[in-house]
Amino acid sequence: MKIESKRLILRTWEDGDVEDIVDGLNNIEVAKWMAGVPYPYTPNDAKKFIEIAKNNDENVKILLAIVLKENNKVIGGTEIRNINKKDGTCGGGIWLNEKYQKNGYGTEAFSARNKYCFDVLGLRRIDNGYFKCNEKSRKMQHKLGYKDEGIRRKALLCLATNEYMDECITGLLKEEFIEWNDKNECRN
């Protein structure tokens, strides 16, 4: 599977991605914002993750590497999870290697992922969230049109910090994405 944007390719994970995954996730400043990522993050953790990703049921969950086109470097990952065709919904998340943050790559990758969810999967709503103090994720999601919908108090155990974290729930409807996309297409 492959999704392309201007500067990025979102593709299935490969065995050769281990070093780039460890480079990105063996950083407490990245891992502390994710529930299922231990810290320290080892090559063995990355190998296990790639095996899970390769054997995954894409009707339920799609796990994708975020790759810079210019040098074929994996700079992060994103997912589409809890795909529910009956209700037209899914969830998901994103992470970026700290070295590649503040360049618009997260917004670009998440936008491409959202477009795939609505246009290819035919969904009508995307559920996401962020840990309460993750201001970068909050800003990115709001920039893409997501709306805050509530807080799940101490909902998730963050493996990196071993703390239960509040999760701020966000949602994006297809019509909101179309409106956002139309505004941003005019800027280009």
Residue-wise burial string across 66-95, b where 16 or more C-beta atoms lie within 10 A, e elsewhere? bbbeeeebbbbbbbbeebeeeebbbbbbbb
Q: With beta carbons less than 8 A apart as the criterion, state whether 91 and 157 touch.
A: no
Tens place of pLDDT per residue across the chain (188 aa): 899 999 999 999 999 999 999 999 999 999 999 999 999 999 999 999 999 999 988 889 999 999 999 999 999 999 999 999 999 999 999 999 999 999 999 999 999 999 999 999 999 999 999 999 999 999 999 999 999 999 999 999 999 999 999 999 999 999 999 988 888 765 54
The model's pTM is 0.94
Q: What's the topology of domain 2-187?
A: Aminopeptidase (3.40.630)
**Taking the CB of residue 150, how many other CB atoms lie within 10 A of it?**
11
| Domain residue ranges in the chain | 2-187
Residue 154 CB partners (closer than 8 Å, separation 6+): 164, 165, 166
